[in-house]
Amino acid sequence: MNAPPPRAASPEQSAARKALSRQNTEILVGTLVLIVFALFIIYAFAGTGIAAKEGYPVTAQFGQVDGLAVGSQVTIAGLPVGQVTKLDLDPKEMRPIVTMTIDRSIKLPTDSSARVATDGLLGPKFIKIDPGGDEETIPPGGHIEYVQDAVIVERLLQKIVNDAEARHEARERGAKGGAGDKKNGAGDKTGAGDKNGAGDKGGTGDK
């Protein structure tokens, strides 16, 4: 006996299946987004080598911090030891104050220095710390006294362009001066020819 053919799904059943499939897809996409976001957060903390809560705060006051941002790395000898956690402006001196979190295992001598460096010519900015040789160390909440401001790439490029233009103008002035000297030399030779003519006149008198 042959089995009866399957009955076609009703419009209501088809719509329910489509809705369930759409819901499953949205759940899958949302899960993937959460996973990517979680990995990004983990990578952000791993990029500094420590989590902010595992370190101690240290401040430094600069004149310029162009390009520096919260989350920028703090390094010693090229290795990450912390991150920038806060950027403030001193209302009296109108200078930026950078708060950074340093790994608790790192003890900074009191004569350490900090500078705003760039990863390559156009890379991100970060804080580079050069440890000093003092036996005393900066306590949690302490301050780094010796700092060096950020190098503004735009100003550096403008200085290079201005120097090149100045050298080009100097070469042009030198070339014009050399051409003038040649003309003066040619005039002197013409004068010498006139003297020879005078000598010829002397010969006529002898005749």
What does 16-35 look like in DSSP terms, one character per residue?
A: HHHHHHHHHHHHHHHHHHHH
Kind plus residue range of the DSSP H or E element containing 198: helix 153-206
What is the number of domains present in the chain? 1
The Cα 69–Cα 79 span in angstroms is 18
Q: What is the DSSP letter of 78?
A: T
Is residue 31 in some structural domain?
A: no
For the cut 50, the answer to whether the pLDDT of residue 205 exceeds it is no
Per-residue confidence (pLDDT) for residue 202, from 0 to 100: 47
Is residue 11 in some structural domain?
A: no
Q: How many residues does the chain have?
A: 207
Sheet holding 113-118, edge to edge: 142-144, 55-61, 96-103, 79-89, 73-76, 125-130, 113-118, 146-148
Q: 71: domain range?
A: 49-155
For the cut 80, the answer to whether the pLDDT of residue 67 exceeds it is yes
User: What average pLDDT score do residues 94-118 get?
Assistant: 94
Is residue 32 in some structural domain?
A: no
Name residue 159's amino acid: K
From the list 79, 95, 77, 78, the residue with the least C-alpha distance to 87 is 95
Is residue 122 in some structural domain?
A: yes
The Cα 202–Cα 38 span in angstroms is 108
Per-residue confidence (pLDDT) for residue 199, from 0 to 100: 47
Per-residue confidence (pLDDT) for residue 185, from 0 to 100: 59
